[in-house]
Chain A
Amino acid sequence: EVQLVESGGGLVQPGASLKLSCVASGFTFSDYWMSWVRQTPGKTMEWIGDIKYDGSYTNYAPSLKNRFTISRDNAKSTLYLQMSNVRSEDTATYYCTRAPGYWGQGVMVTVSS
């Protein structure tokens, strides 16, 4: 059974950095592109970006490219999202996904002073 389990969320101050993790199981992690998606409290969905199965290539939403970095450790079956200089508008639930059908349970990030 495919499982994606995110962690690392919480309350963070504006301007700070935060790194989310997603541990994958139930499939050969190194065979798949992986993505991050976020959902705002108002339920708007936004695709953040994705990373090639070997970590050699990434795509990002242009509006987030300068502050967010996606990486992976295939030996640990783990996907990461490094968020820097966070803003209040980054407040959202962040999902790790193996597109199109597998999503984690999500992790909440709240940016507030």
Chain B
Amino acid sequence: DIQMTQSPASLSASLGETISIECRASEDIYSNLAWYQQKSGKSPQLLIYAANRLQDGVPSRFSGSGSGTQYSLKISGMQPEDEGDYFCLQGSKFPWTFGGGTKLELK
């Protein structure tokens, strides 16, 4: 299985701060990576797919980048509504695998 190592596990950011979350794959996943946000008690919401494609309706402060085994999600200007859990998902090889998640809080 492809292992997805996500960091950091938790993060506290100030209003307007720019933050990054990383996912590292154990092998090349050819940009087959998605990023999700999950708020408490809710289903995951897709933010980014194909490593850098912004899902319709997602604010432009969210962006994704990376290739090969290294990927990142950036939030350019933390907002209160960005609090929640974030995780990556690789869809390159079965079984698809998730990162361990990042809990993002507003400082």
Among the interface residues B85, B89, B94, B95, which one has the most CB atoms of the partner chain A within 10 A? B95
Question: Closest B-chain residue to A59, C-beta based?
Answer: B94
Question: Is the pair B101, A106 in contact by a Cβ cutoff of 8 Å?
Answer: no
Question: Closest B-chain residue to A47, C-beta based?
Answer: B96
Question: Is the pair A99, B91 in contact by a Cβ cutoff of 8 Å?
Answer: yes
Q: Indicate if B71 sits at the interface (CB-CB under 8 A).
A: no
Question: Is the pair A44, B100 in contact by a Cβ cutoff of 8 Å?
Answer: yes
Give bound CA distance, A106 to B89, whole Å. 18
Partner pick for B98 among A46, A60, A103, CB 8 A cutoff: A46
Pick the interface stretch among B11-19, B43-51, B61-69: B43-51
Q: Indicate if A26 sits at the interface (CB-CB under 8 A).
A: no
Question: Closest A-chain residue to B90, C-beta based?
Answer: A47
Question: Closest B-chain residue to A61, C-beta based?
Answer: B95
Q: Indicate if B55 sits at the interface (CB-CB under 8 A).
A: yes
B96 contacts across to A, CB distance below 8 A: 47
Given contacts A59-B95, A60-B95, contact A45 B101 (CB under 8 A): yes
Give residues in B with beta carbon < 8 Å to A: 1, 34, 43-46, 49, 55, 85, 87, 89, 91, 94-98, 100-101
